[in-house]
Structure 1
Amino acid sequence: MKFDPEQVKTETKEDFDKAWSESTKYLTPVDPVKDYSMKMEQGKAHPVYETMNRLREAYINLGFEEMVNPIIIEESDIFKQFNYEALAVLDRVFYIGGLPRPNVGISDERFAQIEEIFGRKLTEEDKETIRTILHKYKKGEIEGDDLVADLAAGLNVQDSKIAVMIDHVFPEFKKLEPVCSRKTLRSHMTSGWFISLEALVNRRKTPVKLFSVDLVFRREQEESADRLRAYHSASCVIMDPDVNVEHGKAVAAGLLKQFGFSDFKFKPDDKRSKYYTPDTQIEVYGYHPALKGSNTKYKDGWVEIATFGIYSATALSQYNIPYPVMNLGLGVERLSMILYQAKDMRDMVYPQFQEEWVLGDKEIADMISIEMQPSTREGHDIAMSIIATCERHGTDASPCVFEAWSGTLNGKKLKVTVSEKEENKKLCGGAFLNEVYVLNGNVYGIPKGNPKFKEIEEKGVSTGIRYIDAIANAAARNIEEGVYETSVKMSRAPGDVNVLIDPVALRYIQGKKNKIDFRGPVFTSVETEITGE
C-alpha cells in the first residue's frame, strides 16, 4: 500500500495535551495541591538485579570490559574443557531438546477431510499449496510459528480452520516426542569464556580483562535454601603472559571492598577442578562488619564469597590460547543473600512463591489511602479550607461556627462552615488530628506527641493521613454531589473517617490477627448553605 500523507491526521496542541494527560494519569498525582491516593515514589528493585548492577559497576570500576558469553554450549566443548571430568559435569547439565519436523503424507482421504473442514472443494492448486508448505516446514524453511499463518494465506481460509485441520487431519503433529540434541545450557561461565577467548586471542593485545554477569544452569536434583537450578554468575577473566594467583587476590579484594567487605582470607579449594592449573584454585573469604553478630550462619562476620584460579594450559591449548588466563567467579544470589541477610535463597529470588507471606510496615502504609476525594479544583479548595479551619479553631469552645469556604460550584453560590452547636464542647473532638501509623503490621490512628503512643510515632511508618484530612475530602466530595452535610462523631473503623485499607493489606492484617485501631472522638460537622444561583 502506498503511503498517503493526506490521510495522516495532524494533531493540534490541545489534542496532544489531552492525550498526554490521559496517558499519564496513572503516573502523576491528579491534583498538585494534595493527593493521598497517588503517591509518587521510586520503584523497587529486586535484590538479585540490584546486586547484579552493583557488580557490573564494580567490575567496570576495576577496568574490566563487559562481554556476553555463549549460553548454548556444544557437548564437545565440555570434553575439551573438563577432560575426564566431563562426564561428571554433563551429569549436571541440561541438554537441549526439540520437536522433530514430521514427514506428513497427504492421501486423497486426507484431502477429503480437509474439504469437509473448509466447507468447499480443494482445487489442484490448493492441494499443491498444502504439499509445498508442509514440505518446506519439514525442511526447516518455514518455522513452526509461521506454519498456520502461511497455510491460511496460501489457501485463503481463516487461521482457526487451519488449526482444526492440523488437529484432526494430521495426528503426526500431536504424537511428536522431543528429541535431545548434543547442545547444552551453560552450567559454568567458564564454558563460555574458553569460546570467547579463542575468538579474541588474535584480535586483542594483552592484557585482556573481561567480565560477564549472566545466567548459568545446573540440573540439581532439587532446589534448596542455598541452591537453585538457574542462578547468576559474576565472572571475569584476565588473559596475559604474566597473570598469576596474586592478580586473582587483588581482583577479589578490589571487587568485594566495593560491597563493604573489609578483610579477606584466601584458602586452597579442595574441589580442584581440572580446568584449573593444580594448586591455583583459591577460595575467597570476606569479612563484613554488618554480618558480625547477625542472626545468620555468618554471625562471625566471615563468609565464602568467590573462587578463582589459573586455567589449565592443557584446556587452553584445546582453544589455541597461548597465554595464561586467570578466572574469578562468584554467585550473585549468594552475595545478595549476604547483603540482604536472607536465610532462604528461594524466598529471596522468588518472593511471590514463598509460603510465609510478609508485608513490611511501609508496604502496608502505601496501601492505605483516602477513599472519597473531590474531583474538581473547587472541591480540592473546599477540602483544604476545611482542614485549615479545623487546624486553627479545632480546640475553640462551643457553641461556635466558622466559615471555611465560599464560592461557586456547579453553578451555585455556596458557603461551607464547620460548626459545633452543643455547649461546653470544642469545635472538633479530641481525635480529629489523629494520624494513621503502621507498626509491626498493626494499623493505628494516634494523636502525635502523646507519650502513650511514643513507640508507635517513633518506630512506626506514617501514612501522612490524619482523620481531618480524610473527613475534609469526604465532605468536599459530598458537596460536589449535592450532599450538603457531613458529620462524623465517634470513629471505630477506617471507613468512619473515610480511610481505605486496600483489600490486599486488609487480608494480610486479618490473616496475622493484627490490630486495626481507629477508635476516637472526632465530632466534626461540615455544613453547606446555598447563598445564590
Structure 2
Amino acid sequence: MKTNKLLKLARKDFEKAWVETAQTLKKPHTDNEYPRIQMRTGQSHMLYNTIWELRQAYLNLGFNETINPVFVEQDDIYRQFGPEAPAVLDRCFYLAGLPRPDIGIGMDKIAVIEEIGVEINDDKIQALKEVFRGYKKGDESGDDLVHHVSVALDVQDSVGLRILENVFPELRELKPVSSRTTLRSHMTSGWFLTLQSLHNQSKLPLKLFSIDRCFRREQREDMSHLMTYHSASCVWADDEISLDMGMAVSENLLQHFGFKKFKFIPDEKKSKYYIPGTQTEVYGYHPKLNEWVEVATFGLYSPIALSHYGIDKQVMNLGVGAERIAMILHNQTDVREMVYPQTYAKWHLTDRELASMLHINYYPFSTDGRELMDILKQKFLEYSEKESPCEFTVFEGEFLGRNIRVKILEPESNTRLLGPAAWNSIYIKDGNIVGLPENNAKDELSLETVQNGIPLGITYMDGVIAKACYMIEEMIVGGETESEFRTTLAKSLSDVNLKLEEVALNYITSNNKLIDIRGPIFSTVTFEVID
C-alpha cells in the first residue's frame, strides 16, 4: 500500500489501517530466512568509540565505574548551586506527565457506544467503570487501557480503540503538567547524590567515574551545542585532596588520547559548587592538530554544597565532554554532523562504496555458461581487429545437454569485428562512473581517471558476453534452437549489462555526478542447436 493511501486510511480508521499493514509483509528470499541469514560486522559510531576509550582510560587509572541518577529534584539544584540555582534551572528540562482524569460514563456516552454497535448492560457498564477507576488510581497501565476497555465491553481491541477515540475525548485533550523533577544537566548533580550514599560506606580514597548523557535546554543547537551530550566525569574523595590531584588525573587521562603538553588556566565562570579559586580549565596540545584546545574542567567541590548531603570529605571533580574529545580526535568541526550524520552531514559515498554497488546484471548460472564466457572473451580478443565482413565459429559441442554451435560475426563491410569502444573499462572517480579505454586515454581528465580512479575490472564486453551466455542458457532451457544477440552503441549501464543499486544511483543524481558509458561496440553472437 502506498504511503499517502495508508496515512489517509489511518486518519479515517487507524485500527483498520494498522491491521492492513500486515499485508505489506513479503516472504523473504530463501537466503534471507532464519537460520541462513548472514550477519556481518557493522560500523561503529566515532562518538561511542571515543566513549569506549574514555572508559578504558579511567579504568586504567584505577577509577570504578558507576551510573549516576538521571532524575534530579529541583531542591537538589538549590542545595548544589546555591544562589546560582535559578540560572542553572533555566537550562534544565523539567519532567512532565499527563494527569489521569476522572472519566464519567453518562447516558450520552452509553448511547454513542451503542451506536458503534456494542450491546450494553449493567455488568459491562460496571466493568468499564472499574477499568477507568483503576486507570485513575494508577493500577491500570496506559499501555493496556485499550485492551482492558475491550475486555470490559467484550469486544475486539479495534472496537475498543474506536470507543476511546470517539466516546472519551477527554483523554485526547489532556495537557501535560510539570513536576519539580529535572533531567540531569550537569554530571555534578548526580555526583552529589551518589556520594551521599557512598562516602561513609567505602574505603578511601573513593575513585569513581561515570560516562553518561546530560540534558541541557539550549536556546538552539548549533555547531558546538547539543541539547543532550555525554559527560565523562570522575570524582576523587578523600580526607584531604589538593588541586594538584586534578592536574595529575587530567594529564594521565588525556595522554591516553595522544595529548603531549598541558596548560591549566583558572576558569572565569567560578561555579558556586566549587571552592573559590579551584575551578580550572584544561588545555591540551595535540600534535596532529598542532594547536592548543580546551578539553576538560576540574575543581574541588565546595564544603557548603557537600554539607547539604552530609559529606565531610574533600572531593575533586573532573569533567570531560566526550563529544569534544571525539571532535578533536576525528577532526570534526560540527558536533551535529558528528553525532547525527544521518540528519546533518552531507551525504557521502566513497568511490569504493560505489564500486561495491555496481554489478554485472545478467550472468550465466551454469558451469557450461561460465566456461562459454571465457571462450567468447578469448575469441573476441583474438579476432576483434579482423576486417569485416567476417564470421568465426568459436564453440561447437555439448552445452546443458544439447549440442550447439556459437559464432561471432560482423556482417557489414569496411569495419571490424568489434567497435572501438568494446574493450573500454569501467572506472569510478570522485563519484563519477565512466567507461574509458585502458591504454589509450586521450585527455588529461581521462588519464587522471585511469591512473587514480577505482577500476572495476569490468569491460563493456565482459557485460555483453555475460548477458549473451545467460540468454543462451535461457533459450536452451526454454526449448529454443537458435538466436542472435546484437549490441550496437552503448549509451547507458544497461547497454553493457551493468546494474547500479538504487542507493548509489540516488547519490550520483543528487550530487550531480556523472554516469558516462558511451561508445560503439557492434558485437554479434549467434547460437544454434545442431543435434
TM-score under structure 2 normalisation? 0.81
Q: What secondary structure is seen at the aligned counterpart in 2 of 1:351?
A: coil
Which of 228, 237, 240 is equivalent to 1:239? Answer: 237
Q: What secondary structure is seen at the aligned counterpart in 1 of 2:169?
A: coil
Q: What secondary structure is seen at the aligned counterpart in 2 of 1:190?
A: helix
Does 2:81 correspond to 1:82? yes
Greater Cα offset, 138-147 or 495-504:
495-504
- Indicate if the aligned counterparts of 1:484 and 1:528 stay in contact, CA closer than 8 A: yes
Which of 465, 474, 477 is equivalent to 2:467? Answer: 474
Which of 163, 166, 171 is equivalent to 2:164? Answer: 166
Q: Map of 1:363-402 to 2, 5 A cutoff?
A: 363-376=353-366, 378-380=368-370, 382-383=372-373, 386=376, 389=378, 393=382, 401=392
Cα distance in 1 for residues equivalent to 2:466 and 2:187: 58
Cα distance in 2 for residues equivalent to 1:155 and 1:378: 68
Q: What secondary structure is seen at the aligned counterpart in 2 of 1:206?
A: coil
Q: Displacement, 1:56?
A: 2.7
Q: Name the residue aligned to 1:317.
A: 307
| Cα-to-partner distance string for 1:479-511 (whole Å, 9 max, x where unaligned) | 232185444344333222122233443344344
Greater Cα offset, 303-312 or 207-216:
207-216
Amino acid at match of 1:135: R
- Indicate if the aligned counterparts of 1:478 and 1:484 stay in contact, CA closer than 8 A: no
Cα distance in 2 for residues equivalent to 1:404 and 1:210: 77
Does 2:131 correspond to 1:129? no
Cα distance in 1 for residues equivalent to 2:383 and 2:309: 82
Cα distance in 1 for residues equivalent to 2:67 and 2:247: 24
Q: What secondary structure is seen at the aligned counterpart in 2 of 1:353?
A: coil
Cα distance in 2 for residues equivalent to 1:283 and 1:344: 22
Does 2:340 correspond to 1:350? yes
- Indicate if the aligned counterparts of 1:382 and 1:405 stay in contact, CA closer than 8 A: no
Amino acid at match of 2:87: A
| Cα-to-partner distance string for 1:112-154 (whole Å, 9 max, x where unaligned) | 332332431x222211111111000000001110111112123
Does 2:527 correspond to 1:528? yes
| Cα-to-partner distance string for 1:57-103 (whole Å, 9 max, x where unaligned) | 33333333332222222212212221211111100001010100001
Which of 253, 256, 261 is equivalent to 1:263? Answer: 261
Q: Which runs of 5+ in 1 are unaligned?
A: 1-17, 29-40, 293-300
Which of 180, 183, 186 is equivalent to 1:182? Answer: 180
Q: Displacement, 1:172?
A: 1.9
Cα distance in 1 for residues equivalent to 2:515 and 2:75: 63
Does 2:451 correspond to 1:435? no
| Identity among equivalent pairs (%) | 43
Q: What secondary structure is seen at the aligned counterpart in 1 of 2:337?
A: helix
Q: What secondary structure is seen at the aligned counterpart in 2 of 1:475?
A: helix
| Cα-to-partner distance string for 1:436-480 (whole Å, 9 max, x where unaligned) | 322223222234466754532454334454434433332233223
Amino acid at match of 1:241: D
- Indicate if the aligned counterparts of 1:100 and 1:179 stay in contact, CA closer than 8 A: yes
Cα distance in 1 for residues equivalent to 2:347 and 2:473: 41
| Cα-to-partner distance string for 1:258-294 (whole Å, 9 max, x where unaligned) | 33333222211111112222222221222223324xx
| Cα-to-partner distance string for 1:331-375 (whole Å, 9 max, x where unaligned) | 222223223323322233223333854444334333323233344
Alpha carbons of structure 1 residues 336 and 355: separation in structure 2 relative to 1, 3 Å: closer
Q: Name the residue aligned to 2:449.
A: 456
Q: Name the residue aligned to 1:34.
A: none
Q: Name the residue aligned to 1:298.
A: none
Which of 228, 251, 254 is equivalent to 1:253? Answer: 251
Q: CA RMSD in A?
A: 3.3
Q: Which runs of 5+ in 2 are unaligned?
A: 1-28, 476-481
Q: Name the residue aligned to 2:318.
A: 328
Which of 273, 276, 285 is equivalent to 2:283? Answer: 285
| Cα-to-partner distance string for 1:359-403 (whole Å, 9 max, x where unaligned) | 44334333323233344555455446655x369747675657474
Cα distance in 1 for residues equivalent to 2:194 and 2:525: 74
Q: Name the residue aligned to 2:65.
A: 66
Q: Displacement, 1:176?
A: 1.2
Amino acid at match of 2:197: A
Q: Name the residue aligned to 1:275.
A: 273
Alpha carbons of structure 1 residues 136 and 256: separation in structure 2 relative to 1, 3 Å: same
Cα distance in 1 for residues equivalent to 2:194 and 2:383: 74
Amino acid at match of 1:261: F
Alpha carbons of structure 1 residues 492 and 115: separation in structure 2 relative to 1, 3 Å: closer
Q: Displacement, 1:416?
A: 5.2
Greater Cα offset, 337-346 or 226-235:
337-346
Alpha carbons of structure 1 residues 197 and 408: separation in structure 2 relative to 1, 3 Å: farther
Q: Displacement, 1:219?
A: 0.7
Which of 357, 362, 385 is equivalent to 2:352? Answer: 362
Cα distance in 2 for residues equivalent to 1:258 and 1:428: 62
Aligned residues: 492
